[in-house]
Chain A
Amino acid sequence: MINFEEELKKFHPSLEVEDAEEAIYNQDLTDMADLMVKIVKESKKTGE
């Protein structure tokens, strides 16, 4: 049986057009490739 209150909590306000800029700036764009490069660089540093 669906609990209305619980289900309602899963719905969040949608971003408005004015908030789009802020959302883009705040987006975490770090990817696996970044992590890999960082790890490689750090391992090189520790090797030196």
Chain B
Amino acid sequence: MICYQCGCTLSEHDFCTNCGADVALYKRIIYISNRFYNDGLERASVRDLTGAIISLRQSLKFDKNNVEARNLLGLVYFETGEVVAALSEWVISKNLRPKKNIADDYINMIQTNQNRLDTINQTIKKYNQALTYCNQDSLDLAMIQLKKVLSLNPKFIRAHQLLALLYINNEEWERAKRELGKCLEIDTNNTATLRYLKEVDEMLLPEENSKKSRKSEEVIKYQSGNETIIQPVNVKEGRGVTSLLNLAIGLAIGIAIAFFLILPARIQTARAGIDEELKKVSEQSDAKTATIDELQQQLSELQTQNDTLQQDLSAYMGKDGTLQSVESLMKAAGAYLTDPEDVTTVADYLDAIEGEEAEEGEHENSEAFDNLYNTLYALVGPQIAESYDENGHNAFWAGNYEDAIPNLAKAYQYDPTNGQALFDLANSYYRLGDEAKAKELYEEVIRLFPNTEKADKSRNTLAQIEAGQE
């Protein structure tokens, strides 16, 4: 403590040992200031922030230079969300004691973080805006704004209180109580908070209050000697039967709830499970049926193919199971090897091969088959042709045209250069009266052997046929 007049450090005496000034009253003022500071500190430590603010302000009214009290006041303001007030106190404190002052740290903490400072400023602006909305009767907008404020600064007591007041005005008592509860967590002894809370509690529990008063009416008090007897009115003791009845009713209600609420839900769940299983099985069954159908279709196709192939094979097969055309060729080759002069037998077998091929239609033979067939044909062809030609012409000249026709046809078949055989074949048909076939063959003679006598004769005969038809 220093002398207010000369600035010298004071001793335990009531005067300044340097300038002699009377410092008794001054010391008393400083003591009172310190006492208020102590009180403020004690209140702040139990979160009675409102009480702490009052005490610390008192302390500063007695001694503005009480830096500790000023710093603590700033801290309490900061805790209640009043950041600008806190900053003001710390700035003054720093001016009063520029060195070794904790206020310096507090100021730096806020000023070095620009984002935090912006958030603080935004919070204050939003709160002021909310207050303006309240005054303009836009209470919904005010509520929204206050919720934003509290999301940014949850310790802003005034915002909590204003929001609680708005809830009270809307008769949303539970919400108001919740907000006031948050206020009390920050500041346990705020007068406005407690006043609002009392109002909310009264609105929330009117029945309890009335019950309390009713209870007092439901007792009879009377004096017996020196003792006061308090006897409850209309209180019946519980009976065993009633208890059992209540128990039974409770049990019945429980069973009914289980039957009507729980059981249907269980059944529904079970049914849903079964339906799901059924659906799966049905899907699997459908897939299998589709596969079976497909396989059956393939089977029938294969069966058809098999039948066709069987038919083809049976057509090729002889009685002993070998291919008929091959068998005939083998026989023809065997006959030629046995007797090369017996061309008639060889010709019969070769005819048989041609007949079979004509019957079965054109098909691919093996190379060996074709080679053997062509070799045999080249070896015996001319002799066969000659034999048929001889037989055919003998029959033709004898007037036996039925026998002449097959022989002459074979003679021409085995020797396509034999124009006479073709011409006499046509004549045989003509004489038998088959003019259509005869005409066909005459035209073939004219086409294949032009500028020959046979061709001229054919033309003449054709002219006769056409004249006869007309």
Inter-subunit contact B158/A14 (CB<8 Å):
yes
Inter-subunit contact B29/A4 (CB<8 Å):
no
Inter-subunit contact A27/B168 (CB<8 Å):
no
Q: How far is the CA of A4 from the CA of B142 in the complex (A)?
A: 14
- Least CB distance from B156 to A in Å reads 9
Chain B residues near A19 (CB-CB < 8 A): 84
Inter-subunit contact B165/A37 (CB<8 Å):
no
Chain B residues near A2 (CB-CB < 8 A): 165, 168, 195-196, 199
- Least CB distance from A7 to B in Å reads 6
Chain B residues near A36 (CB-CB < 8 A): 4, 25-26, 29
Inter-subunit contact B60/A31 (CB<8 Å):
yes
Inter-subunit contact A17/B121 (CB<8 Å):
yes
Chain B residues near A31 (CB-CB < 8 A): 60-65
Interface of B is mostly: helix
- Least CB distance from B327 to A in Å reads 121
Q: Taking CB as reference atom, which chain B residue is nearest A31?
A: B64
Q: Does B127 contact A (CB under 8 A)?
A: yes
Q: Does B395 contact A (CB under 8 A)?
A: no
Q: How far is the CA of A11 from the CA of B82 in the complex (A)?
A: 13
Instruction: Evaluate whether A16 and B84 lie within 8 angstroms (CB atoms) in the complex, with A2-B168, A27-B92, A37-B4 already known.
Output: yes
- Least CB distance from A21 to B in Å reads 9
Q: Taking CB as reference atom, which chain B residue is nearest A4?
A: B169
Q: Taking CB as reference atom, which chain A residue is nearest B132?
A: A13
Inter-subunit contact B121/A16 (CB<8 Å):
yes
Query: Considering the complex, which residues of chain A in the window 1-48 have a beta carbon less than 8 Å from any beta carbon of chain B?
Result: 1-2, 4, 7-8, 10-20, 23-24, 27, 29-34, 36-37, 40
Q: How far is the CA of A33 from the CA of B61 in the complex (A)?
A: 9
Q: Taking CB as reference atom, which chain A residue is nearest B4?
A: A37
Q: How far is the CA of A27 from the CA of B70 in the complex (A)?
A: 13
Contact of B84 among A11, A12, A23 (CB under 8 A): A23
Number of interface residues of B (CB under 8 A): 43
Contact of B165 among A7, A13, A20 (CB under 8 A): A7
Q: How far is the CA of A40 from the CA of B25 in the complex (A)?
A: 10
Chain A residues near B134 (CB-CB < 8 A): 8, 11
Q: How far is the CA of A33 from the CA of B128 in the complex (A)?
A: 37
Query: Considering the complex, which residues of chain B in the window 64-90 have a beta carbon less than 8 Å from any beta carbon of chain A?
Result: 64-65, 82-85, 87-88
Counting chain B CB atoms within 10 Å of each CB, which of A10, A31, A37 scores highest? A31
Inter-subunit contact B124/A16 (CB<8 Å):
yes
Inter-subunit contact A33/B82 (CB<8 Å):
no
Q: How far is the CA of A32 from the CA of B199 in the complex (A)?
A: 40
Q: How far is the CA of A47 from the CA of B32 in the complex (A)?
A: 29
- Least CB distance from A29 to B in Å reads 5
Q: Does B353 contact A (CB under 8 A)?
A: no
Inter-subunit contact A23/B26 (CB<8 Å):
no
Q: Does B125 contact A (CB under 8 A)?
A: yes
Inter-subunit contact A32/B62 (CB<8 Å):
yes
Q: Does B446 contact A (CB under 8 A)?
A: no
Q: How far is the CA of A4 from the CA of B466 in the complex (A)?
A: 135
Tell me the A residues contacting B by CB distance below 8 Å.
Answer: 1-2, 4, 7-8, 10-20, 23-24, 27, 29-34, 36-37, 40
Query: Can you give 21 contacting A-B residue pairs, CB < 8 Å?
Result: A2-B168, A4-B169, A13-B127, A14-B124, A15-B85, A15-B124, A17-B83, A17-B84, A17-B87, A17-B121, A17-B124, A20-B84, A20-B91, A29-B64, A29-B92, A31-B60, A32-B29, A32-B32, A32-B61, A34-B64, A37-B26
The 4 A-B residue pairs whose C-beta atoms are closest, nearest first, are A31-B64, A15-B84, A13-B128, A4-B169
